[in-house]
Structures are given as structure tokens and as C-alpha cells.
Amino acid sequence: VSDRLVIALDAMGGDRAPEVVIDGAEIARERFPNISFLMFGDQPRLEPLVQAHPKLAAVTEYRHTTEVVSGEDKPSIALRSARQSSMRLAINSVRDGDASCVVSAGNTGALMAIAKFVLKTLPGIHRPAITTYYPTMRGESCMLDLGANVQCDAENLVQFAVMGEVFARNVLGVKNPSIGILNVGAENLKGNEAVRKASIMLKESTLPIKFHGFIEGDDIGAGVVDVVVTDGFTGNIALKTYEGTAKMFGVFLKRALSESFMSKFGAWLASSALQKFKMQVDPRLYNGAMFLGLNGICIKSHGGTDALGFSNAIHVAVEMITHSFNEAIKEDYAQLSGHDKTMQEAVGS
């Protein structure tokens, strides 16, 4: 297990754990032959499930624990008391260098609180943020924050802009990513104080980043910018609205196509195209939210995803390690934050 990439899995987190975690790990193993797993959880329960996949069993080590953080646990309580939980121990293993990253489908708030406490934030970053990428009409974009910070000031938003820029460049592979701040209108006077001030700070800074200005909700799906910056309250609601609308659209389409013999036959003829279309917006292929700004890589899977979805969260983790994301963010961030005075104040360096 020497030149292998070790991934810590919180095997007990998520609605259908540990089954979905183990089946997801098996799919990811097929995709990335060089990964191995540290699996945290109830070993007597995990082992027979893992043994069903001999090749997975060969690259899995167990770390037994019976304590579990539940979906209902308050983050502060989970942080203080669940010290032997599968989630906590998995995060510890990243801090201790036993694993390169951690993937969990457990309680988001608890995962963020514990990861922040155990791994600490990167230099100059006050608050970590949650991001993910998603399909748009123009390709893929990312949005942050998605819920780590319910209330944000202008300085937080500016830090998110910088972290998002580094993410889009290093993980999404966009050469010169454009940044937009989510608002209720494009005009300077629109919105609350935080977005107005953040916009002025980004406009006035001499940072080498492409600041587009304000964008609106419909610009998310249009892919007007590569990085959408917003507070965690609005971002969480916007991303879930996006997901829910896509789901609704899919249901409407399915209903319509199953209405008559003619439409069913037409749908059958177009089935390969419809399949491709479905793949394009399949939320499982975009599962995996990244915690940015931490001294270690931590990926949150949707709690309700299936094995394919969970495997994609592992995929995201592999991508971030392969692209040395945290080294890149540290370097770029230091360079950017040293760039001008406004930014030095904003990033507190």
C-alpha cells in the first residue's frame, strides 16, 4: 500500500450506510486502480459486505469503531462528544497523514465543525467554504459557499472568490475563470451591504482575477461565470433549487413521453439521445461537495445518494489530490493575497 492513494471513508455516514459506501468504494476502485481505503466503522458489519467484492477487500483496511454521528446531531455536540465516531476518526487519519483525504455522506454540519477543528484552516482563510460543480449551458461552473457559513460579510465573500478562482483553475481546468457575485440584479445599487461591498473590493483590487460583477439566479444554469460567489444561506438554497428543478423537469418529461403509444415509440427511438441527456444532468455524477480552505481534503457526499453517487464523491477526492489542490490553493492564495492592500485586509494576511 506504499505508492497507493489512501482514502479514508466514514463508512457509517449517510442514509443507506454502510451498504452505499461500500458499493460506491467498489465502483471507484474499478475506476482508479491505484486507490486503497481506510474504512472507519463497525467492522463486524462492514467486513462481510466488503468481502462480497474480493478486489475491494484486497485494498481495504478497517478501523473499528461503533460510535456514529447521526444526521440529527447538533454540530457542536458532535464535535465535543463524538470523539470515537467513524467520522471523527476518519478526519483524524487525514491530519495524521494516514490518509490523503476523507469522504463522508454523514451530517454536513458535524463534518464541517469536526474537519475545521481537526484539520484547521489554511493560512489567511478565516472561514472554510463548501463548493461543488454542476453542469451549465456553457460547460461546468462551481458555486460557493453552499452552507458552511449562513451569514457572511464582504470579507468572507472576497475570500470565497479567491478560493473559487483557484478551484476552477486547478480542478475544473478553466484557464482564466470568471467570478460573479450572486445578487437580485446586475446594477451596483442592488442587494445587501455584503454583496455591494464585496463587489467594490473585487473591482478596486488589482488582483489578476476576472471579476464579472453581479449575476442573477438564471445566470447559474446559463453558465455566465465559472465561479458563483454567495453566502451559505443563499448558495445552499440556490443549488438545491437547481437540483429540484432539474428533477421536476425530468419527471414532467417522463410523464409526457409515457402518455401515448406514439410518444412511447418516439421515446424508444430517441432512447440513446434521451439517455445521453439524462446523463448530462444526473445529480449522481455531480455528487461530492468539497470543503475549501482546510488543511486537508474533505469531501461531503449527499446523504441520500446511491453507490454511483458515492463513487463520484470519491472521484472528486482523487481529482483534488491528483491536482495537488491544497498546495495550489496555498500558493495561489498567498500570491493573490499579497497582491494589493484591499486584499490584504480582506484575507487578513
Residues that bind a second copy (CB under 8 A): 72, 74, 135-137, 147, 150-151, 182-184, 187, 189, 191-192, 216-222, 230, 232-234, 236-253, 255-257, 259-260, 262-263, 265-274, 276-277, 280-281
Is the CB of 2 or the CB of 272 nearer to a second copy? 272
Q: How far is the CB of 255 from a second copy (least distance, A)?
A: 8
Q: How far is the CB of 149 from a second copy (least distance, A)?
A: 11
DSSP secondary structure letters along 5-57: EEEEEETT-STTTTHHHHHHHHHHHHH-TTEEEEEEE-HHHHHHHHHTSHHHH
H helical segments located in the chain:
19-31, 43-51, 54-58, 75-81, 86-95, 108-119, 154-170, 193-204, 218-222, 232-257, 261-269, 271-280, 307-322, 325-337, 341-347
Q: How far is the CB of 176 from a second copy (least distance, A)?
A: 23
d(CA 344, CA 4): 39
Contact by Cβ (8 Å): 127, 312:
no
Is the CB of 76 or the CB of 322 nearer to a second copy? 76
Is the CB of 176 or the CB of 192 nearer to a second copy? 192
Q: How many CB atoms lie within 10 A of CB 61?
A: 12
Is the CB of 174 or the CB of 181 nearer to a second copy? 181
DSSP-derived secondary structure letter, 259: S
d(CA 91, CA 118): 7
Q: What angle do CA 211, 157, 290 make, to 5 degrees?
A: 95
Q: How far is the CB of 167 from a second copy (least distance, A)?
A: 21
d(CA 339, CA 349): 11
Q: How far is the CB of 322 from a second copy (least distance, A)?
A: 28
Q: How far is the CB of 65 from a second copy (least distance, A)?
A: 25
Q: How far is the CB of 266 from a second copy (least distance, A)?
A: 3
Sign of CA dihedral 221, 222, 223, 225: negative
CA dihedral 210, 167, 303, 146 (to 10 degrees): -30
